[in-house]
Structure 1
Amino acid sequence: MAAAADLDEIEEVNANFILMANLQQASTLGTQTDNAPVYDTDGSAE
C-alpha cells in the first residue's frame, strides 16, 4: 500500500501548489488595480 500513500502525498503537494499559485495571482492582480486607497465605512483608509 505504499503506492497509495505516495499518491495521496503527491495529490496534497499538487493542491498546495495550485493554492499558492492562485494566491500569488490574486495578490498581483490586486496590486495592479488598487491604486487608490480603500476607505472603510468609518472613513479611515485601510
Structure 2
Amino acid sequence: ARAEGNAAGQNVNHIRCYNCRGFGYYARNCTARPRRRNATYLQTQLLIAQKEEARIQLQAEEYDLMVAAADLDEIEE
C-alpha cells in the first residue's frame, strides 16, 4: 500500500493547521472562521499573566531572603 501524499510527495496526514488544529492543510489554506477573543478568553489570559508575575515576584523575594541569610551568617562569624 502506498502512503497518501500530495504532488510534492509530503504525507498530508502529518500536516496540521495552527488555526483550527485540523489535519491535512496549513493555516493559510484554512477555511474555518477565526476564533473571536471574547471576555472569557481575555480573562483567562489575564489570570495566566498575573500568576506568572506573582511567581517572578516570589522568586525575587526568595533571592532577597537568601541574601539576608548569607549576611547574617557573615555577621555571626
Distance of 2:48 and 2:57 partners within structure 1: 14
Distance of 1:12 and 1:18 partners within structure 2: 10
Identify the structure with bigger relative contact order (alpha carbons < 8 Å, sequence gap 6+). Answer: 1
Q: Which of 34, 42, 45 is 2:73 aligned to?
A: 34
Distance of 1:8 and 1:26 partners within structure 2: 27
Is 1:14 the counterpart of 2:42? The answer is no
Q: Which runs of 5+ in 2 are unaligned?
A: 1-39
**Structure 1: 4+ residue segments shifted above 3 A:** none
Output the aligned Cα RMSD: 1.4
TM-score (norm 1): 0.69
TM-score (norm 2): 0.44
Aligned pair count reads 37
The higher radius of gyration belongs to 2
Is 1:24 the counterpart of 2:63? The answer is yes
Residue aligning to 2:44: 5
Identity of aligned residues (%): 14
